[in-house]
Chains A and B, each alone.
Chain A
Amino acid sequence: MNPADLWSIVPELWLTGLAIFLLLVDLFTARKTVVGVVAVIGLLLSIIPTGVLLGQDPRTILAGTYAVDGFAVFFKILTVIATALVTLAAMDWLPGRTQYEGEFYALLVFTAVALILMAASTDIILLALSVEFVSLTSYVLAGYLKGNVKSNEAGVKYFLFGATASAVMLFGFSILYGLTGTTNLYEIARRVSDAPLQALSLSVALMLTGFGFKISMVPFHQWTPDVYEGAPTPVAAYLSVASKAAGFAALVRLLMVVVDPRQLNWVPLLAILAAVSMTLGNLLALPQRNIKRMLAYSSISHAGFLLIGVVAFRGDFGTPGLLIYLLGYTFTQLGAFFVAALIGRQLGTDDIPDYAGLSRRAPVSALLMAVFMLSLTGLPPTSVFVGKFYVLAGAIDNGLLWLAIVGVVNSIISLYYYAGVIRAMYIMPAPSTVPLEEPAALQVALGIAGLGTLIIGLYPQPIIDLARSAVLLLRI
């Protein structure tokens, strides 16, 4: 190992140190909010060493197992932003619900480390390790409220689905190793062209199971609504953006580097899965009354849209579109979940009809929620619109016009259930006019999410440039 390599993993080392430090802080303080504040500050500070990496030449370090490229840096930034926002939201959501508040922040930061590792691994051993790392911490976070029946159930269900999916994925990895005799992705890419097609197809199918689970793609989506409903709301928010983003990062890296579509054409399969995910997610979201379940099904549908970005990898719309979409979706989805967390905290309900009259009781949150709902639909001038525009353009660019049409039709269908939330907030009569208290940290998190959604929507050029440069560096 080259000692200079350590300078390239300063963000990872810093975050690992931060998580351990948080456990110590938690030990010595009775005011658990302090732990949360330290976590947020530490996370934001990690942006500095990450930014330093931004301009550097793409390369692999640590004996070729770890990538330092724009793609990895992009996902580092995304993960850190998501984790900081979720920590802020948790600071107002958690107190009184669990006595293990400090450990929660430490677990979140550990998960962030794991997600960052997952997006940058270029070795299947490290990839398997980081996927499992993400899974193990997420299982615990989902089942975090020990006395809560729903949270228990979410934890068990997430664990059983997740462990099975990763066992299948590991079997796929073992076959991939057998086909090439090496664990390094770039080395595998060189040797895989001699591999028999059937075995390679089997291996890719098995690996898709694991990643499909992480990104909640149909047909590996069944866990999503139950886990999002049962898990603590900040955790559901985190799983729906960060874990999904890292899943996409690993999937894209694996497919782009290892599997040449000229050898094994995965494009039609993923295109069909994208169309099915969009449609099924949308149709199942239509009858939902619980906001978290609705957002869960909508996140399945968004996974379909994001898959279009994976499928449309040729040209300069698809993959940058995927990254733009992911970043925009992160702000929007987190914001929507934070409003759900706020209402869940103040009214003790997650049912959409109970949002009636919110425009008068909590005007700022209601307005932001309306923005998030419009953004999730994909209406301009919001962040998800930019992402959708790019992935759909990518689909057309790649000759997949039918997929783009399915996407547009699905966007229109989704307007129905997103507008249902806005209708409840603005049109339905309020059962009471008592203003809702809006806690400070949650407000800050909501404000940042709202700003992110609108800024990316109104002035997307810097993000587009960032995504473009990140994609150029992908294939070292």
Chain B
Amino acid sequence: MHVGLTHYLVVSTILFCIGLYGVLTRRNAVAILMGIELMLNASNINLVAFNRYLAPGAVGGQTFALVIITLAACEAAVGLALVMAAYRSLETIHVDEINVMKW
């Protein structure tokens, strides 16, 4: 079977949707973070695949993917730190129990 651009795009779209589904349904803050990572990786697949098939000589897409990988790492670091801080005072990482403020 010949693997073309469409295959990559289908994979990345599925990955994005799984990530978004995880973000919307999970109650655990760390699990939500994992969903977000999936969504970011979906963009990476997109970028690298587009780079390979549409602009093979350029490196814009690959650079962008590297930047997003770095961003994802920073985001995980900051996010986990915030969740840790919240856990120390609230003793839970379930987002539906982090509800001191309501409208």
Contacts and interface: CB of A to CB of B under 8 A. Distances in A.
Contacts of A181: 50, 54-55, 58, 60
A149 interface: yes
Nearest to A225: B103
A113 to B, nearest CB: 15
Contacts of A60: none
B89 A160 contact: no
Given A125-B67, A182-B58, 9 more contacts: A125-B63, A149-B89, A152-B85, A152-B98, A156-B29, A156-B82, A160-B32, A160-B95, A230-B101
25 contacts: A125-B60, A128-B67, A136-B78, A143-B85, A150-B101, A152-B88, A159-B78, A159-B79, A160-B32, A164-B20, A167-B19, A167-B43, A168-B39, A170-B43, A171-B16, A171-B46, A174-B64, A177-B50, A178-B47, A178-B49, A181-B58, A182-B60, A183-B60, A183-B63, A183-B64
Contacts of B11: none
Interface in B15-69: 16, 19-20, 23, 29, 32-33, 36, 39-40, 42-44, 46-47, 49-50, 54-55, 58, 60-61, 63-64, 67-68
A160 B80 CA distance: 11
A156 to B, nearest CB: 5
Given A160-B32, A225-B103, A143 B82 contact: yes
A152 B89 contact: yes
Interface of B: 9, 12, 16, 19-20, 23, 29, 32-33, 36, 39-40, 42-44, 46-47, 49-50, 54-55, 58, 60-61, 63-64, 67-68, 71, 74-75, 78-79, 81-83, 85-86, 88-90, 95, 98-101, 103
Contacts of A175: 46
Contacts of A136: 74-75, 78
Given A128-B64, A156-B86, A182-B55, A173 B43 contact: yes
Contacts of B33: 160, 163
Nearest to A296: B103
Contacts of A229: 101
A171 B20 CA distance: 12
8 closest A-B pairs by beta carbon, nearest first, are A167-B39, A174-B46, A178-B50, A181-B55, A152-B86, A174-B43, A155-B82, A183-B60
A164 B58 contact: no
Nearest to B103: A225
Interface in A240-293: 284, 293
A140 interface: yes
Contacts of B67: 125, 128-129
B43 A156 contact: no
Nearest to B38: A167
A178 B46 CA distance: 8
Contacts of B42: 171
Nearest to B64: A125
Contacts of B40: 167, 170
Q: For chain B, what secondary structure do more than half of its interface residues adopt (helix, strand, loop), or is it mixed?
A: helix
A129 B66 CA distance: 11
A32 interface: no
Nearest to B68: A170
B23 A124 contact: no
A254 B68 CA distance: 19
A55 interface: no
A164 B98 CA distance: 18
A156 B39 CA distance: 19
Contact of A164 (B39, B49, B81): B39
Contacts of B12: 174
Contacts of B19: 167
Contacts of B98: 152-153, 156-157
Contacts of A167: 19, 36, 39-40, 43
A378 to B, nearest CB: 25
Interface in A149-195: 149-150, 152-157, 159-160, 163-164, 167-168, 170-171, 173-175, 177-178, 181-183
Contacts of A183: 60-61, 63-64
A139 interface: yes
Contact of A153 (B71, B78, B101): B101
A146 interface: yes
Contacts of A129: 67, 71
A157 B90 CA distance: 14
A316 interface: no
Contact of B95 (A139, A146, A156): A156
A273 B97 CA distance: 31
A262 B46 CA distance: 27
Contacts of A124: 64
A148 B82 CA distance: 12
Contacts of B63: 125, 183
A160 B78 contact: no
